[in-house]
Amino acid sequence: MNDLSFQIPTNRINARGLIRHPIRQYAWFVDDIDEACHKWNKMLGAGPFFVVRHHIGEGFLYRGKHIEADVSYAFGQAGPAHIQFIAQHDDTPSIYRDMYKKGENGFHHVGVLVPNVQEEVRRFQEAGYEVACELWGGDYVAYMDCRKDLGCFVELHGDAPVICQLFDGWQKQHEEWDGVTDLIRENRNNREGRQ
């Protein structure tokens, strides 16, 4: 049997570039998460998507201030690539509004899982990139503003076992999925779920 499946080498470090760990996520800013899920499913067979509407982050800082926008996220797979859709429901300053006004859509960031976020943040800062956003998402997360050279942000996300299991679980569910059933699956870590 000829196995041509793509495997992301999770333990390989690229010593030549500033981003030394494999890119695990590609994220797009969209107006309508449900519409994006349906379009990506139609075009690429992507899904299923796990949606968190009106997400509440822990320890959320935007450019050093306690400012958190009202955002929703969808997480899914398109073959070997993990993808994320982000929609912002207000005009609060954010790393999303830094790039896109209401009604605009586009690529926003690449995400990497790293064993030591603080060390990676230090390396990026020494190279001239600033921290745009920090939060706790199962592990420490920092978004570095790399737009001047890369055209997008870089998400440095800690690789705690719970996070690796989440990414692996999304991949497994994609591989076992029929491509149609329950395309959009709701999670409850949101503002409405925490009344």
CATH of the domain at 35: 3.10.180.10
Q: State pTM to two decimals.
A: 0.88
Omega before 48 within 30 of 0, i.e. cis: yes
Asked if the structure places residue 15 within a domain, the reply is no
Query: Worst-scoring range by mean pLDDT, 9-13, 38-42, 139-143, 179-183?
Result: 9-13
**Strand, helix or coil for residue 85:** strand
For the chain, what is the radius of gyration of the CA atoms?
17
Tokens matching residue 182:
């329950």
Tokens matching residue 24:
């695990």
Asked if the structure places residue 160 within a domain, the reply is yes
Confidence band, pLDDT 50/70/90 cuts, at residue 137: confident
Distance, in Å, from the CA atom of 114 to the CA atom of 118, rounded to the nearest integer, reads 10
Q: Give the domain extent around 153.
A: 23-181
Q: What is the pLDDT of residues 145-162, one digit of tens each?
A: 999 999 999 999 999 999
The number of domains in the chain is 1
Asked if the structure places residue 69 within a domain, the reply is yes
Quote the distance between the C-alpha of residue 78 and its chain's center: 14
Asked if the structure places residue 80 within a domain, the reply is yes
Helix (H) / strand (E) element for 58: namely: strand 58-62
Taking alpha carbons only, the member of 129, 63, 139 closest to residue 96 is 63
